[in-house]
A and B are shown apart, each in its own frame.
Chain A
Amino acid sequence: MLKLSSAIFRQLLSWPIILCATLWLALAYNLSFDEHLGAASLGAFLSYSVLALSALIVRFGYVLQQRRQQGWLRQDLLRRTTALAAVSESLAAVFSLFIFIVCSQIVVLWLNPPLNEQHEAHHLVMSRVASDSSWTFTWDDNIPEGSKLCLTFDFENSPDNVKTSSISNSIVEETVTPGNVFYWPLTVDDVRNKTITLESPLEHNLSLIRPLARLVITRPPISALPRLLLNQLLFFFTVIGLCLFIFRRLKVNGNLSSLGALAIASLTNLRDVQLMPNVGALVSSGLRYERTALTTNDIALFTWLGIGLALIYFSCKAPRADKK
């Protein structure tokens, strides 16, 4: 099986592909961390990394199709190694993705580029007035734990003797001072519920300046890169399973299988409809990546990996037509 794996691995990562990957890595590094024009954001680098991994999946589909045309499947059958052949294909694909991720990680951690100096990012949050002295805040994404609300209160109509006021939910109360931005740390429950209602004493007559309400989210430090890249690998593990399943069980062209696998994986990002486990955050990237990065819950993650394992298992079983 190892020999088979290494053969497929060499076919997957041929010299031109290695050269392209190296060039892509250099380009991604410069585009992400360029001193003057780069966004100095890990998210940009992660986005280029996701694109490279998607390209490797497409390459994997192409190699599968090549192997089918070359009759490898028939030869594997003659050697009674069909099941192992399928496993070796997935092993080779996972290993090639793993190699790319390790290289990306080494490059960034070794060169240690300067990241955006501001370790906190501000994001929009929807707010509405629930009553004269209470406000409800909502957001769409699964935001990371430790996020907080950043609010500005107007004291113009407060009675003269009010020097400070308080903001509370049903459990906690915090002091708010005029002329200071007020931070409300979100609890795990708030983050899970994606909503929170805060209120102030009615007699203090505070008003929230709603256009200035923001969510503050801490950007992951550079030391979180290995974990972020590992998340990408876990995401693409199931994509490999999908690709193999479509190719071997449904007998679809390899190139189309890889595109289909990427399309199905993209359904995790479909708005308003939950067709797949909520694992889109595994590949959170781009210049606002901190909003969803590292927020995948364990149940969704293990369901996703379970789906991947099941797909690889089913694609390992020799197709009936090939057994003749």
Chain B
Amino acid sequence: MTRNLPSYLVAALVAFCIVSVASGRMRVVGQNAVDSFRCFNMYLDFNLATVEEDYLLMASLAAQIEDISGDSGVREFSAYIAGYSTSADSHNRPDQDALHWAETAVKWLDSSVALRNKPWNGLQLATMIYADRILPNSTSRLAREQMLNTYAAWMASGGGPNGANPLSAKVYQDYLACPPHQRDNYILSHLTQIMATE
């Protein structure tokens, strides 16, 4: 027994590490390789789900990819495909179906603002989905409020670090120059302009 004591101790240490890894208290040396490989495979599955238009699977994979790699783009892409792109007139989608997926897509985006590494593009996308896909088919006052708040936050950030330019800062400054009761109208007219241009 005494002779084997060191072996038992080392075995107990290995067991402790396994338990700690399982409970998430520790990352064992080399564990990141498993995550990198999982992420690679999830990108493959995500591409497949995109082709098959399996939006729920796309969103689930996007959340996992984002968790491992910090890539927010996949979540925004899945929201764009589910809630915006495939609702275009050319897709001949039933209105109720389009509305359902548009609402689901903004839920994905709104619920993950604080978790996405780069939330800025998603704010703009959520605004566009509200303005172009939800509000024309819904009278929800809450949706309108959400859209205004989301767009105001996006303007305050100037479109985020990559989109920062004097023009977007100017838009926010013009917005602030309006009296508070006219600010909502400013956003609405600005969005109308953008959508007309696009």
> Which residue numbers of A lie inside 8 Å of B, CB to CB?
31-32, 34, 37-39, 41, 43-44, 46-48, 50-51, 54, 118, 120-124, 150, 152-156, 158, 163, 177-181, 209-212, 214, 216, 239, 246, 250-253, 256-257, 259-260, 262-267, 269-272, 283, 285-289
Contacts of B157 in A (CB 8 A): 152, 181, 209, 212
Q: How far is the CA of A289 from the CA of B40 in the complex (A)?
A: 16
Tell me whether A179 and B173 are in contact (CB under 8 A).
yes
Contacts of B40 in A (CB 8 A): 31, 34, 37-39, 44
Q: How far is the CA of A270 from the CA of B43 in the complex (A)?
A: 29
Q: How far is the CA of A216 from the CA of B34 in the complex (A)?
A: 26
Tell me whether B30 and A214 are in contact (CB under 8 A).
no
B32 in the interface (beta carbon within 8 A): yes
B169 in the interface (beta carbon within 8 A): yes
Which bucket holds chain B's interface residue count?
A: 35 or more
- By beta carbon, the residue of chain A nearest B69 is A287
Tell me whether B33 and A253 are in contact (CB under 8 A).
no
Contacts of B156 in A (CB 8 A): 152-155, 178-179, 209
Q: Given A37-B43, A212-B153, A262-B29, A286 and B158 touching (CB < 8 A)?
A: no
Residue A286 contacts which of B32, B43, B160, B161 (CB distance < 8 angstroms)? B32
How many inter-chain residue pairs (CB < 8 Å) link A and B? 176
Tell me whether A263 and B160 are in contact (CB under 8 A).
no
Q: How far is the CA of A154 from the CA of B154 in the complex (A)?
A: 10
Taking the nearest CB of chain B, how far is it from the CB of A58, in angstroms?
Answer: 10
Show 15 A/B contacts (Cβ-Cβ < 8 Å), sorted by A: A31-B37, A37-B43, A39-B71, A48-B36, A121-B117, A152-B153, A152-B156, A177-B169, A179-B156, A180-B158, A211-B119, A250-B6, A252-B7, A260-B13, A287-B68
Per-residue 0/1 for B14-40: is the Cβ within 8 Å of any A Cβ (1 yes, 0 no)? 101100100001111110111111011
Contacts of A122 in B (CB 8 A): 70, 117-118, 161
Given contacts A209-B153, A214-B117, 7 further A-B contacts (CB under 8 A): A54-B29, A155-B176, A156-B152, A156-B180, A180-B158, A260-B10, A262-B29
Tell me whether A178 and B173 are in contact (CB under 8 A).
yes
Residue A260 contacts which of B14, B117, B158 (CB distance < 8 angstroms)? B14
Tell me whether B164 and A48 are in contact (CB under 8 A).
no
Taking the nearest CB of chain A, how far is it from the CB of B33, in angstroms?
Answer: 4
Taking the nearest CB of chain B, how far is it from the CB of A255, in angstroms?
Answer: 11
Contacts of A154 in B (CB 8 A): 152-153, 156
Q: Given A266-B29, A283-B29, A288 and B69 touching (CB < 8 A)?
A: yes
B1 in the interface (beta carbon within 8 A): no
Q: How far is the CA of A262 from the CA of B29 in the complex (A)?
A: 7
- By beta carbon, the residue of chain B nearest A272 is B25
Considering the complex, which residues of chain B in the window 85-123 have a beta carbon less than 8 Å from any beta carbon of chain A? 113-115, 117-120
Tell me whether B70 and A47 are in contact (CB under 8 A).
no
Tell me whether A179 and B169 are in contact (CB under 8 A).
yes
Contacts of B176 in A (CB 8 A): 155-156, 158, 178
Contacts of B6 in A (CB 8 A): 246, 250-252
